[in-house]
Amino acid sequence: MPRTLLAFAIGFGAALAAGWGAFPRVLYQKKVQPIEFRHKTHAAKSGTSACGDCHALRDDGGFGGIPATASCAGCHGEPMGATKAEAALVNDYVKPHRETPWLVYARQPANVRFSHAIHTRLAGLKCAECHGAQGETDAVKPYEVNRISGYSRDIWGRSMSRLRRAPHEGMKMTDCEDCHRKRGVEAGCLGCHQ
């Protein structure tokens, strides 16, 4: 009996290690952004202090998304520095009037309706509460895409077990529900889904 129990424990431990350790490495594929971007450097040099300075909301309150290359062209019509990333931005996107094909970390399924305006203006949430301290980083983190679903790892969060995670690590429905529950706000199914 003890030998069977030991074999079971070893098998169970190996299955857990494979599921939480090896499986995520196989499930997610790392991709690099088209050019290197430094939020911290841009905030310091341009004097932008809020996410909304570049990531604006549309008139209807919806998120305008990642800034258009034309927004970058105001400062980067010609290279200002000597970095390869800036040269690539100017030569590959600004001068030929092409949009930078950024990989979007927070893309949600098509049936999800999310208003940044309601959360930032009405509820007063700071961007970092859901997105982490992106504005304070000096390097864009790797984009990890789920090979099966096609969604970013940021939707699930860093940990497959979802244990010991910060509030901004994950954008699953349960994360939204937990935040609403903590604040005593009911949205109902049609408040978030189309």
The model's pLDDT over 147-164, given as tens digits with 9 standing for 90+, comes to 998 989 888 887 766 776
Res 46: pLDDT: 74
Report how far residue 149's alpha carbon sits from residue 110's, in angstroms, rounded to the nearest whole number. Answer: 13
At residue 53, φ and ψ (nearest 5 deg) are -65, -35
- Dihedral sign computed on CA atoms, order 84, 47, 50, 56: negative
Report how far residue 155's alpha carbon sits from residue 177's, in angstroms, rounded to the nearest whole number. Answer: 14
Res 52: pLDDT: 79
What 186-193 contacts at long range (C-beta under 8 Å, 24+ apart), as own/partner pairs, is 192/112, 192/113, 192/114, 193/111, 193/112, 193/113
Question: In residues, how long is the chain?
Answer: 194
pTM of the model: 0.77
The total of structural domains in the chain comes to 1
Report yes or no on 151 lying in a domain: yes
Res 188: pLDDT: 87
Report yes or no on 160 lying in a domain: yes
Cβ-contact 29, 147 below 8 angstroms: yes
Res 160: pLDDT: 67
Report yes or no on 63 lying in a domain: no
HSE of 129, CA atoms in CB hemisphere, 13 A? 12
Structure tokens at 170: 């994950």
Its domain, for residue 140, covers: 27-33+102-194
Report yes or no on 20 lying in a domain: no
Residues of the chain with pLDDT below 50 are: none
Q: Report which of 114, 108, 73, 93 is spatially closest to residue 33, judged by C-alpha positions.
A: 93
Q: Which letter, b or e, does each residue of 43-61 get, where b requires 16 or more Cβ atoms within 10 Å of its Cβ?
A: beeeeeeebeebbebeeee
